[in-house]
Amino acid sequence: MTHPETGSKQPLAAAASKSGFQWNDPFLLADELTEEERIIRDSAHAFAQDCLMPGIVEANRHETFDREIFREMGNAGLLGPTIEGYGCAGVGYVSYGIVAREVEAVDSAYRSCMSVQSSLVMHPIHAYGTEEQREKYLPRLASGEWIGCFGLTEPDHGSDPGSMITHARKVDGGFRLTGAKMWITSAPIADVFVIWAKSEAHNGDIKGFILERGMEGLSTAKIEGKFSLRASPTGSIAMDEVFVPEENLLPNVAGLKGPFGCLNNARYGIAWGALGAAEFCWQAALQYTLDRKQFNRPLAANQLIQKKLADMQTEISIGLQACLRVGRLKDEGRATPEMISLIKRNSCGKALD
């Protein structure tokens, strides 16, 4: 890159290093990472750039999702990475955040699918399920062979899950589920469904159930014509007396604690991912203003442009430090849902700005 003030053609990082400031890492976040975390960052970056970037424009243009890319994501250890065993990488939450940042720097749709798979499908099976469920589902979800989705939101109760009407009726050998879910990421292509429903056998408490593609009475429809996240299929789920075997009940949680525990993990990843998208926008804007010349000098030489770039860099850099801090607290078991809400709110808001 050309330096915005000197016009020097030397690499921007090299020019910056002489003054002790790194344009691409203002607060030296890389120095705060462990060696393992840096290796994971580099691996996720290579996957995103080499496997995801080449076809992402066409994927968004035509609303297509490539299952092979998802399998490659699994082979790279990026699905369910915080889970120990079952074919998962078993890394910390800082590493998970770094992966989300690198993937969303290329595309939000695949980061969304990754978050659903890891936090909303694999996490509840691991945290709330039986050992038999973990052994059956987690390895194939970790490899990307199976794709999962998470059914909580309903057509008439989007932000009020406590008012859901999807219910489970106890029958011999299992349950019959009836109801509908809406705006479900990966629903049209999912093999495994983690569905939350009010269970008559549990005094109306919300319970989790694992459904599989092909169960009688289970259908999914794709929502067409989205304006964003077009490479991530979104759909609805309809359940008409779907029989779910007893062994597919998630036994170790009841109430909204279950789905909210999943959503907290997903929101944490979104906080990192949104800043990854913002970083890409900042880098693209910086490069354009360096390359584009008016009146014999780059646009970046104008103070108004510099202010806008500085505003972007300031918010991104501060946001990443907050994400890193919460990640460390999460790895220590000290992060609260409120902390995660703060960084997600900040990251998404600043990325949109």
CA distance 142 to 72: 11
Dihedral angle computed from the Cα positions of residues 89, 191, 241 and 197, in that order, rounded to the nearest 10 degrees: 30
β-strand 192-199 against 174-185: which pairing, if any? Answer: unpaired
Handedness of CA 83, 158, 256, 137 (dihedral sign): negative
Dihedral angle computed from the Cα positions of residues 298, 347, 227 and 59, in that order, rounded to the nearest 10 degrees: 80
* 15 confidence band (pLDDT: 50, 70, 90): very low
Q: Does residue 17 carry a pLDDT above 90?
A: no
Which of 81, 85, 89, 84 is closest to 117 using CA atoms?
81
CA distance 86 to 63: 32
Q: How far is CA 292 from the centre of its chain?
A: 34
Average pLDDT over residues 14-30: 77
Asked if 148-254 and 258-352 have one fold, the answer is no
Annotated domain spans of the chain:
29-142, 148-254, 258-352
Centre a 10 Å sphere on the Cβ of residue 297 and count the other Cβ atoms it contains: 11
Pull the structure tokens for residue 146: 């199976």
Handedness of CA 267, 268, 272, 275 (dihedral sign): positive
Architecture of domain 29-142: Orthogonal Bundle (1.10)
Q: Which residues contact 234 (CB under 8 A, 6 or more apart)?
A: 183, 184, 185, 186, 187, 188, 222, 223, 226
* Residue 231 CB burial class (10 angstroms; 0-12, 13-18, ≥19): buried
Q: Does residue 8 carry a pLDDT above 70?
A: no
Q: What is the pLDDT of residue 64?
A: 94
Q: Picking from 3-12, 77-86, 164-173, 284-293, which range would have the lowest pLDDT averaged per residue?
A: 3-12
Q: Are 153 and 184 in contact, with CB atoms under 8 Å apart?
A: yes
Pull the structure tokens for residue 83: 């889970």
SS3 181: strand
Which of 143, 165, 145, 170 is closest to 154 using CA atoms?
165
Q: What is the pLDDT of residue 157?
A: 87
Q: Give me the percent of the chain exceeding a pLDDT of 70.
A: 95
**CATH superfamily ID and name for 258-352:** Butyryl-CoA Dehydrogenase, subunit A, domain 3 (1.20.140.10)
pLDDT in tens, 206-251: 999 999 999 999 999 999 999 999 999 999 999 999 999 999 999 9
β-strand 218-222 against 174-185: which pairing, if any? Answer: unpaired
In this structure, the chain runs to a length of 353
- The one-letter amino acid code at 158 reads G
Average pLDDT over residues 106-123: 97
Q: What is the pLDDT of residue 23?
A: 87
pLDDT in tens, 314-343: 999 999 999 999 999 999 999 999 999 999
CATH number for the domain formed by residue range(s) 148-254: 2.40.110.10
Q: What is the pLDDT of residue 80?
A: 98
